[in-house]
Amino acid sequence: MNHPILVVDDDPAIRDAVRDVLEMEGLPVETAADGSEALVKITARAPRLVLLDMRMPGLDGWGFARELRAAGIELPVVVMTAAADARRWAEEIGAVAVMAKPFGVGELMDVVRTYGR
C-alpha cells in the first residue's frame, strides 16, 4: 500500500506539522496549498485519505469536493477546520469525519487509523 495521505491546507505551518507527525509514523504524505494543487496531486498519485481545510484562497474545500465528484473520483475526505460550522460543512461535501482545530497528535492519528485503512 503506497497510497499517500494528502494534506490540503493553505497554512504551511499546519501542512508541515501534520506531515511531520505522519512521516514519523512511517506514512507517505503529499501536501497541497489549495484545491487545484490537490487535484493535480491526486491525478498523479491516488491518495488513501484527504485531510482537507475548507477555507483556502484559490479553489477552496467546497470547490475541491465538487471537482472531485465531477471527475467521478471517490475518496475518503476528513474536514480539518477551526470554524464552528465544521459539522455542517462536512455534511455539505459528504466528508467521512471532522477534525476540529486545534487537534493534537493523538486525534490526528485516531482519524488516520480509522479512515486511512
Partner 1 sequence: MTAQELLGVLSQVVYLGLFVVAAIRLVRSPSLAAIDTCLFLGVITAVLLARDVAGLLGLQDHPALGVLTWVGVCALPLILLRLADDFRPQPSGIMIGAWGLFVVVAAIGVLVPQPWPGPVRVVPVVWVVALGSYASWAFVNESRTTYGVTRRRMQAVALGSLLLATVLLLVGVSIVLPATQPAVSILNQAAGMGLMLAYFLGFAPPGFLRRAWQEPILRRLVAETPELIRAPTLDEVLRRVRERARELTGADDALIGLWDAARGSLVYHLPSGGVHHLQPGEWIGGRAFLTQRVVYTGNAEADAPEHAAEYREAGIRAIAAAPITADGRRLGVLAVYAARPFLFTDDVAGMTALVAEQAATVIRSHALGREAAEVRALAEATRLKQDFLSVVAHDVRTPLTTILINAELLDRSLGDHPQHARRIASLRAEATRLKLLVEEYLQVVQTAEGERELRLEPLDLRQLVGEAIDGVGPGRDRVQLIAAEPVPGLYDRARVFQLVQNLVGNALKYSEADTPVEVRLWAADGLAHLSVTDHGIGIGEEDLRMVFERFHRGANIDDRRHGGLGLGLYISRLVAREHGGDITVTSQLGAGTTFTATLARGQHAMDAAAGDPTRTAGESTLEPASGSSG
Name the residues that contact partner 1, by CB under 8 A: 11, 13-14, 17-18, 20-21, 24, 78, 82-84, 86-87, 90-91, 96-108, 110-111, 114
CA dist., res. 115 & res. 44, Å (int): 21
Place of cell 475548507: 54
Q: Least distance (Å) from partner 1 to the CB of residue 102?
A: 4
Other CB atoms within a 10 A radius of the CB of residue 28 amount to 15
Q: Least distance (Å) from partner 1 to the CB of residue 74?
A: 16
CA dist., res. 104 & res. 88, Å (int): 22
31 or 39: whose CB is closer to partner 1? 31
22 or 39: whose CB is closer to partner 1? 22
Q: Least distance (Å) from partner 1 to the CB of residue 27?
A: 14
2 or 104: whose CB is closer to partner 1? 104
Report the relative pairing of strands 49-52 and 97-100 from DSSP bridges.
unpaired
Q: What angle do CA 100, 107, 34 make, to 5 degrees?
A: 50
Q: Least distance (Å) from partner 1 to the CB of residue 43?
A: 27
42 or 99: whose CB is closer to partner 1? 99
Measured on CA atoms in the order 36, 42, 43, 45, is the torsion positive or negative?
Answer: positive
